[in-house]
Amino acid sequence: MTGSSNELFDFIAMALAKFVATEGEDSHLFPGRQRELGFTFSFPVRQSSIASGTLIKWTKGFSIEDAVGEDVVSELSKAMERVGLDMRVAALVNDTIGTLAGGRYNDPDVIAAVILGTGTNAAYVEQIHAIPKWHGPLPKSGEMVINTEWGNFQSSHLPLTEYDQTLDDESLNPGEQTYEKLISGMYLGEIVRIVLLRMAEELLIFGDIVPSKLKIPFILRTPDMSAMHHDTSSDLTVVGKRLGDILEISDTSLRMRKVVVDLCDIVATRGARLAAAGIFGILKKLGRDTLRDGEKQRSVIALDGGLFEHYTKFRNCMEATLRELLGPEVAENMVIVLSNDGSGIGASLLAASHSQYLETE
């Protein structure tokens, strides 16, 4: 995550070569044909064609300076050559666009895709006349997919606290990805750690000595936070065990464990409600936040990502907030579907639809 561009892309190419080596006898190609690849790339790129795009910046804790400004398809292609893989990237696909493509393939009512995992992003289908920055040829459908890169959304209306400021100051990308730092899996556990550290320093909640492990950034991961938040045992055993195993804080009182659960609830609830507000913003932009002349439009959101899939309380709160924002009548026609590995499936579909062999079949 912090090495050189060659190290990163060589690692990907070697993993790919290992996977290809496991293919069975039934997966032989036609003679003289290359394998074709859909390349899911979950970072902001300036895409110049279906199979080329330069990296604008890293997010989610990646920091590989010599890759910024480079064509990521070219970098992967060179790495595949170095490991002797004869493959062609047929489509470079942002993971959110892949999820939208996969979702739309399965259900024509899918109008947007959202990733809520390590990072976050959203994409939706827009009418071409509503895109003032587009100056190219008009698509026949009259529609175009918009990749919002909403993780970088910043606004004076976002409820930032001093803890968010601390997280931002200590991050690899200060001043960037503000919305992502409030709602995504990379950061929720870290916000909990920062608040606990402040409580340990100022309120001495863990005794006179501040636990040294509590000072280590990102030591408390969001899956750990989720496990503590979902602890239903009468004495909050899971909370006690995680505090002991990860932060080396032993002999915590039940009262203290309850404080930790409450803190997890506050951080998760804020993140889930803000995520719902983002989805509502897209529905509002598309005019799907109200009933038009009583007509009932079905609006499906394809959602992928481990945070949404595995953090049940986060997911339930987000869905409840969206219903609250839309009102019961509109919410009745809004469906969120878990699109498990939707991005990989969508990238495969887009690669297949841009195969160099389509004309010959």
Determine which one of 60, 71, 224, 231 is catalytic.
60
181 included as an active-site residue:
no
Give which of 179, 271, 175, 171 is closest to 225, Cα–Cα. Answer: 271
95 included as an active-site residue:
yes
Q: Which of 18-32, 170-184, 225-239 has the lowest mean pLDDT?
A: 18-32
The answer, yes or no, to whether residue 33 has pLDDT greater than 90, is no
pLDDT of residue 134: 85
pTM of full prediction above 0.85: yes
pLDDT of residue 360: 63
The answer, yes or no, to whether residue 233 has pLDDT greater than 90, is yes
Amino acid type, 340: N
The answer, yes or no, to whether residue 294 has pLDDT greater than 70, is no
Arithmetic mean of pLDDT over the chain: 93
The answer, yes or no, to whether residue 265 has pLDDT greater than 90, is yes
Q: What are the tens digits of pLDDT across the range 324-334?
A: 999 999 999 99
pLDDT of residue 172: 86
**Burial environment of residue 193 by CB neighbours within 10 A (0 to 12, 13 to 18, 19 or more):** buried
In three-state secondary structure terms, 78 is helix
pLDDT of residue 136: 84
Query: Average pLDDT in the 183-211 region?
Result: 95
> What is the token pair recorded at 94?
């942002």
Residue 328 to residue 305: CA distance in whole angstroms: 26
Determine which one of 10, 71, 95, 231 is catalytic.
95
The answer, yes or no, to whether residue 361 has pLDDT greater than 60, is no
218 vs 34, residue with greater confidence: 218
Give which of 19, 15, 18, 9 is closest to 76, Cα–Cα. Answer: 9
pLDDT of residue 28: 67
Q: Which of 20-29, 202-211, 213-222, 237-246 has the lowest mean pLDDT?
A: 20-29
